[in-house]
Chain A
Amino acid sequence: MATLTVSRAPFAGFSFENCKRNAVLEAEANKVGCSLPAARKTGTTICGVVFKDGVVLGADTRATEGMVVADKNCSKIHYISPNIYCCGAGTAADTEMTTQIISSNLELHALSTGRVPRVATANRMLKQMLFRYQGYIGAALVLGGMDCNGPHLYSIYPHGSTDKLPYVTMGSGSLAAMAVFEDRYKPDMGEEDAKRLVRDAIAAGIFNDLGSGSNIDLCVITKGKVDYIRPHDEANKKGVRTGDYKYKRGTTGVLTKVVTPLALEVVEETVQTMDTS
Chain B
Amino acid sequence: MLEETGPEWLSEEVKTGTTIIAIEYNGGVVLGSDSRVSAGASVVNRVMNKLSPLHDKIYCALSGSAADAQTIAEMVNYHLDVHSIEIGEDPQVRSAATLVRNISYKYKEELSAHLIVAGWDRRNKGQVFATLNGLLTRQPFAVGGSGSSYVYGFVDAEYRKGMSKEECQQFVVSTLSLAMNRDGSSGGVAYLVTIDEHSTEEKVILGNDLPTFFDQ
Given contacts A160-B71, A174-B9, 16 further A-B contacts (CB under 8 A): A66-B4, A90-B10, A128-B71, A131-B67, A140-B10, A155-B44, A155-B45, A157-B67, A159-B13, A159-B65, A159-B67, A159-B68, A161-B37, A163-B37, A172-B6, A175-B42
* A171 CB–B CB distance under 8 Å: yes
Query: Which residues 58-103 in B have Cβ within 8 Å of A in the complex?
Result: 65-71
A contact residues around B153 at 8 Å (CB): none
Instruction: Specify which chain B residues have a CB less than 8 angstroms from the CB of A175 in the assembled complex.
Output: 42
- Interface bracket on B: 20 to 34
Residue on B nearest A165 in the bound complex, by CB = B45
Q: Does A135 contact B (CB under 8 A)?
A: yes
Tell yes or no: A158 within 8 A of B by CB: yes
Expressed in whole angstroms, the minimum distance between the Cβ of A37 and any Cβ of chain B is 14
Give the docked Cα–Cα distance between A67 and B9 (Å). 19
Residues of B within 8 A of A127 (CB): 67, 70-71
What's the dominant secondary structure at chain A's contact region?
Answer: loop
Give A160's nearest chain B residue, CB to CB. Answer: B67
A159 interface neighbour in B6, B7, B14, B47, Cβ under 8 Å: B14
> A residues within 8 Å of B by Cβ?
41, 66-67, 90, 127-128, 130-131, 134-135, 138, 140, 155, 157-163, 165, 171-172, 174-175, 210-211
Known contacts A138-B10, A157-B14; A163 and B71 CB within 8 A of each other: no
Cβ of B45 and Cβ of A163 under 8 Å apart? yes
Q: B interface vs A, CB < 8 Å?
A: 2, 4, 6-7, 9-10, 13-14, 37, 39, 42, 44-45, 47-48, 65-71, 110
Known contacts: A157-B39, A157-B66, A162-B70. The answer to whether A135 contacts B13 by CB under 8 A is: yes
- Residues of the B chain whose Cβ atoms lie less than 8 Å from the Cβ of A171: 7
Given contacts A157-B39, A163-B44, contact A67 B4 (CB under 8 A): yes
In the bound complex, residues from chain B placing their C-beta under 8 Å from that of A157 are 9, 14, 39, 44, 66-67
Contact of B66 with A41 in the complex, beta carbons under 8 Å = no
Give bound CA distance, A34 to B186, whole Å.
47
Contacts of B66 in A (CB 8 A): 157, 159, 161
